[in-house]
Structure 1
Amino acid sequence: MQFADRLNNVETSAIRELFKLLGKPGIISFAGGFPDSAMFDVEGLREASARALQEEPGAALQYGATEGYEPLRTQLAAFERSKGVTDIEPQQLIVTTGSQQALDLIGKTLVNPGDKVIVEGPTFLATIQCFRLYGADVIPAPIDAQGVQVDKLEALIKEHKPKFVYLVPTFGNPSGALLTRERRLKVLELAVKYQTLIVEDDPYGDLYFGDAPPPSMLALSRDVPGSREWVAHCGSMSKVLSPGLRVGWLVAQPELLQRAVMCKQFSDAHTSTFAQATAAQYLKAGRMPATLKRVREVYAERARTMAVALKRELGDAIEFIEPQGGLFFWARLTGAGGKVKDANEFAKRAIEKGVAFVPGAPFFAKDPDLSTLRLSFATAGVEKIEEGLGRLGQAL
């Protein structure tokens, strides 16, 4: 069988492959990138789905518009307005099957083989794979705890003239980094200066532990004249409500949305109308603020526990910056005291001790740092985090 040449540019997810090793009884996993199912507002979703079937059963169960279920688009626009995007209207966004589909649609509509695309180094693994599938030359831009380093990003834009720049500015996956307000404004200025699209992926922005993060670049575009047309914003309900709903959205300029809708018609016709109707009823009922408050409190406690346990159990053999939100710790093995420095080797030892994490190399588009690793605190309770990191210390 002859397969498409584009498949030569990608391989299966290293994270998904790792999951095959997690069937061993007693494994404590810090590997997943998903929320804790115990945090799902099951009762609220049950009520929302019942209302969807009671009030508009025909619309909820029938084919729908590719752009999205109109009541949900209205609710999502209101949700974005509550976060500072003051001028958004429902017709300025489309509903997607998770934000992953929004990224895929951006790849389909914009990338030609050989096009340059700039991403953070490290960045969301599935995005690297997605853009490479369409033939992009994916170029990493350096980051630190405050997100992408803007001076180096500008140099890369000038050198490569990318089709677009992809950023996860708020509690990035895997880095946990938080792009400062000042840097966000500078990125928007670069977008205008070089006429370069900025793709802002924001699945974690509502999962903050203390003070709220800076507004999204979509919201801040009001402060940088001419920048709104150079921002494509991807949102998701997966990390804050339920991944199983598969509800995401894309905000972008009309020309991009029109082409994204056309490509979505070829893919799935529309996102599940029943899922959309359920999400619309949930948002309309006003339960989201209480859900977010609870989730933030639980994840904040787990993140603090992981930070303390990492320092206690691994000491100077590991370095990290404690995240202010999101789901992840991004860490680097130092090799201090002759301890292991290669994260792949460390992952093998950890599995033998009954604990799992994700080595960091796959998150780099080029020149991976083999000493890095990602740990998720989202799905393990405080006691499991303590126990798992105790095992991790034994694996050094």
Structure 2
Amino acid sequence: MATKFADRMQTVHRSFIREILKVTEDPSIISFAGGLPNPELFPVEAMRKAASDVLAESGKEVLQYSTTEGYQPLRKFIADRYKSEKGIEVDPEDILLTTGSQQCLDLLGKVFLNSGDRVIIERPGYLGAIQSFSFFQPEFVTVGLENDGPDLNELEKILAMDKVKMFYAVPNFQNPSGLTYSAEKRKAVAELMAESDTLFIEDDPYGELRFMGEHQTPLSKGYLKDNCVLLGSFSKIAAPGFRLGWVVAESEVRDKLVIAKQASDLHTSTVSQRIMYRFMKDNDIDAHIEKIRERYRRQRETMVECIEKYFPEGVEITKPEGGMFLWITLPEGMSSMDLLDTAVAHKVAFVPGRPFYVDGSGENTFRLNFSNSDEEHIEEGIKRMADCLKDFFSAKK
């Protein structure tokens, strides 16, 4: 069969994170590996009522095929929330509802990428975007991340290259690093992008999850008006199982995305869209998000405090003001892949950093997820990791 597969299948591999999650099915393992929201915060009862009401009142309509663009009242809800929460104007007609924001990446790849086109991603970069764009056989070019955003000198040089089709970025609580672009960096990036023909793709699944510091305006639509798209998701603030996301794009781009989506799945689940809208309309979503923020703030603080207390010297960490992840850097010469084997034996798991680097670097880095554990398990898991690290460090002496 190998000779029958398309050439593109040679460049795309299984998600490393999904493979690690198989290991963590063992209930005795404390897992910081997955990018999972905390299920204790899922609004189960409110969703049950929303589903019941929708099916009781509009069952025949909801179970029928629908339009590709998505349920209009839900698109208007998203646009209104951009205005009230972010201070930016978005036309509901420029919103396309998708099957998770991951589908946005696939559609953008189909619409924009030819084999050999250059795609800029952050270093380290979001693994889901690397996997999705890889199907279209681009050349990835990476821009390094500083504490407040991308290295502007690197970015300017890259944008001067030929065939740089798009720049994919996660400016808020970046996955995997947890870093956030400052207002100054957002403005500077927008100025560089405005001088180029490169499409800016802003993925913002974590923007609502700020639990300390000041909210930042989206780079696209806030600082950069044209040649940009903005992605969003209900997965982190409501229910990932619904697989509901969206893309905001001006009409010419949106129309092409609609064509690509029609070829992919006709439309996103009408049932999911209608239930989500009913949930949003009938409940105080701001109060629900505030509960998530408060829980994640406590879990993040616990993880940072435990790392500072138990980890050996020489380990660097990011201290995010929101989101779901923080990033660990070990001294040069140490392998987080090797550390993972030892950690799993000690019943704790994380994601090594190397899969987040398309150039094969990042051997001494790894990602920790704090959202899907309570404080007690976070402390115990960090203690287990600290024991592994101390043994690791001793063996290197």
> TM-score normalised by the shorter chain: which range applies?
over 0.9
Partner of 1:249: 246
Q: Is the 8 A contact 1:170 1:213 kept in 2?
A: no
Distance 2:14 2:124 in 1: 18
Provide the residue aligned with 1:275 in structure 2: 272
Letter in 2 for 1:270: H
Query: Is 1:97 equivalent to 2:99 in the alignment?
Result: yes
CA offsets per residue over residues 304-357 of structure 1, 9 Å max, x none? 00001111111314111211110001111126xxxx821011111100100000
1:227-257 Cα offsets, whole Å, 9 max, x none, are: 3221100100001111011110000121111
Equivalent positions of 1:56-205 (< 5 A) are 56-205=58-207
Q: Give the corresponding residue for 1:369.
A: 362
- The aligned residue for residue 229 of structure 1 is 226
Maintained 8 Å contact 1:44/1:287: no
Matched with 2:393 is none
Deviation by residue 1:180-214 (Cα, 9 ceiling, x = unmatched)? 11111111111211122100000000101113421
Deviation at 1:150, TM superposition (A): 2.1
TM-score (norm 1): 0.95
C-alpha distance in structure 2 between counterparts of 1:341 and 1:117, whole Å: 29
How has the CA–CA distance of structure 1 residues 59 and 185 changed in structure 2, closer, same or farther, with 3 Å as cutoff? farther
SS state at 2:383 partner: helix
Q: Decide whether the 8 Å contact of 1:115 with 1:162 is kept in 2.
A: yes
Render the CA deviation track for 1:133-174: whole Å, top value 9, x for unaligned.
Answer: 111111110002212122221111112441010000000000
Paired residue for 1:224? Answer: none
Q: CA deviation at 1:57?
A: 2.3
Checking the alignment, whether the CA contact within 8 Å between 2:173 and 2:207 is kept in structure 1 is yes
CA distance in 2, matches of 1:116, 1:219: 23
CA contact (8 A) 1:95 1:250 kept: yes
2:321 to 318, 321, 324: 324
In 1, Cα distance between equivalents of 2:315 and 2:59: 54
Shift in CA distance, 196/359, structure 1 to aligned 2, threshold 3 Å: same
Aligned residue for 1:229, secondary structure, equals coil
Q: Letter of the 1:230 partner, please give it.
A: N
1:384 matched residue in structure 2: 377
Q: Secondary structure at the match of 1:82?
A: helix
- Within 2, Cα distance between the matches of 1:151 and 1:57? 55
Match of 2:261 in 1: 264
Moved over 3 A (4+): none
**Residue in structure 2 matching 1:351, options 341, 344, 349:** 344
Distance 1:150 1:82 in 2: 31
Percent of counterpart pairs with the same letter?
A: 38
1:56 partner SS: helix
Determine the C-alpha separation between the residues in 1 that align with 2:76 and 2:57. Answer: 17
Contact kept in structure 2, 1:83 and 1:219, CA below 8 Å? no
Cα contact 2:54–2:274 (8 A) shared by 1: yes
Tell me the equivalent position of 2:288. 291
CA RMSD in angstroms comes to 1.4
Alpha-carbon contact 2:79-2:89 (below 8 Å) kept? no
TM-superposed CA distance for 1:58, in Å, is 2.8
Which structure 1 residue ranges, 5 or more long, are not aligned? 222-226
Secondary structure in structure 2 of the residue aligned to 1:185: helix
